[in-house]
Amino acid sequence: MDSQLLLICLLTAVINLIGALAYAARIAGIRTGRIAMSFALFNLLVLISRMSNSFLGPFLAKRIELRLASGGGDALIGDFRLVLTSASVAVLVGILLVPTAQRLFTLAIGWFQHNRSTARLVLRTASPAGLSAIRQSLTIPSVASVKDLRRPMGVSWGVLLANMLAQALLTVGVLASLYAGYLNPEFRVTASQLSAVVNGFATILLFALIDPQLSVMTDDVVEGRMDAALFRRAIIWVSLSRLAGTVLAQLVFVPAALAIAWVANYV
């Protein structure tokens, strides 16, 4: 693995790690009772993750150009497979860090409630006190929490499958569009621009089907109609469906690239 591919994999990992940890903000909102603040924090993290995803495009496009110039285009699919694998590994790490993240988000929400400054909150994270709080909050999922996954999920299979599909599309959107440009070089620019269509559909799917369900469950916990432990299990299952989506992206990558390359001929 060369330095350029390593950078791309690290960027992909950071993007997916942030996205996976964002769900812990909702758990922190339940623990603190600051629902609106937790939603704002969740949306901020999701926004950072989605915006960071757009930075992948130039790095990947440059790699395709270099591969084509050196006659190594056949190795591109292996490069993209490694990038997709880094996404899956990052989501798995994010799931394991959910207990740590919810403690940190709980501290962040409480601190922000008294200081009301996002800039100062970011600066405090890098301060000795912030680093100490991170160190003290580090933990791993307990055995009891893992065993609890056998109990009722708190969320329907339909929502989990929809989330898996949306996450697969978000993971593969940019990569498949750029690889489609390699497969159909005559319409390379057109193929690369179709990533916005794929990501846009996935985003609509998330905001239309997934987020409303999580919001309703959050309200149910606040009003006492749903147990907080059941809500936490539901969040873990949603996170696991995100992991399944990144694995599914490996399967749909080539078919998606072929489909985009075909569509580029008729746009």
How high is the pLDDT of residue 241?
Answer: 92
Asked if pLDDT for residue 1 goes beyond 70, the answer is no
pLDDT in tens, 83-122: 999 999 999 998 888 888 888 888 877 777 777 777 777 7
Measure the CA–CA gap between 32 and 181, rounded to whole angstroms: 48
Q: Tell which wins on pLDDT, 67 or 6.
A: 6
Measure the CA–CA gap between 64 and 109, rounded to whole angstroms: 43
Where are the chain's structural domains?
3-263
The CA–CA distances, whole Å, from 261 to 172, 189, 196 equal: 14, 11, 14
Measure the CA–CA gap between 66 and 253, rounded to whole angstroms: 21
Structure tokens at 88: 């899956």
Average pLDDT of the chain to the nearest whole number: 81
Residue 175, number of CB atoms within 10 A of its CB: 26
- Residue 28 φ/ψ, nearest 5 degrees: -65, -35
The CA-CA-CA angle for residues 90, 95, 101, to 5°, reads 100
Measure the CA–CA gap between 237 and 231, rounded to whole angstroms: 10
The pTM assigned to this predicted structure is 0.84
How high is the pLDDT of residue 251?
Answer: 92
- Residue 152 φ/ψ, nearest 5 degrees: -50, 140
pLDDT in tens, 131-160: 777 787 777 777 776 777 777 778 888 889
Measure the CA–CA gap between 182 and 64, rounded to whole angstroms: 7
Measure the CA–CA gap between 206 and 202, rounded to whole angstroms: 6
> Which of these, 19, 43, 28, lies nearest to 103 by C-alpha position?
28
**DSSP secondary-structure letter at 208?**
I
Residues 6+ apart with CB under 8 A from 81: 250, 253
Residue with tokens 């193929």: 191
